[in-house]
Chain A
């Protein structure tokens, strides 16, 4: 399943597209502690978080994550969007909270 298919199925907001049309998503990771994500998230995962600091983009790039999904309507500021654009990372959003959106993504990915 590509990032774009997930965006469509869950009705996510797209702040930056990155490589979302081609990127295969392998799973998800949920954490707001960036040190934890650096240590434990795996390549190809969608990272679900409420942290919108610019470091989020750098870590997603470092770990080769498929996308960053910001919850609860948190909007990334301009600098963060620009950084995501530069790094080619899809930066996505939802108004749902972490529990709900994680459940939906898990359900969606379990069908395949």
Chain B
């Protein structure tokens, strides 16, 4: 088994709240400088920077997992992860079918741009990426799983947009592959408050919106290699794979 350091929740400039410095290029540079082995860029309701980040990461020896941080109808934020381009494209289409299309006012909410390697803007997403998609949380998990992805409720302990703030308690029939707690709490504190979390692998990530946040939290993944199938086993604690605290 090998140990890989991973930060799986990073926002790029495509997220309205992501800092302008957060281009795929800068993120990969910073992740390499921090010694990260695996990252995921998880923009709100969009996967527009996934591919470029993966390409740039590969050049630096970083494995970039495809993903997005989606917002459900109940306004619960959830991390979603995918392996292949086909899955990523299919998921982007599914999201686009379920957007509530409200125009984004970038002066109020921040700009939502997709950039290229040279940091030229190639697209500006015109509708706001903030509102919840038209999926209840269990439906969202179903869509992700049907495509072969992983579904992880994000920062469940946060007072806004966390599973507990929005839904009061963990729904019985929600199929989560793991659960993310914010970097402002600890495994012990989270499990003490919500004992049902003991049945899940708990992960912590930076939820970086600014360059200095990247790698501020993360986990060590114990796996054979950096493959999606391995990370799935690690998140589920199967066959000797596991997720360790830093």
Contacts and interface: CB of A to CB of B under 8 A. Distances in A.
Interface stretch (B25-33, B42-50, B165-173): B165-173
Interface residues of A, number: 12
B74 A53 contact: yes
B175 to A, nearest CB: 14
Interface residues of B, number: 11
B168 A38 contact: yes
A13 B171 CA distance: 26
A33 interface: yes
Contacts of A53: 73-74, 136-137, 167, 171
Contact of A34 (B73, B136, B168): B168
Residue among A35, A54, A58 having the largest count of chain B Cβ atoms under 10 Å? A35
A98 interface: no
Q: A interface, by DSSP: helix, strand, loop or mixed?
A: helix
Given A53-B136, A54-B171, A55-B171, A35 B165 contact: yes
Interface in A79-96: none
Interface of A: 33-35, 37-38, 51, 53-55, 58-59, 77
Interface of B: 73-74, 136-137, 164-169, 171
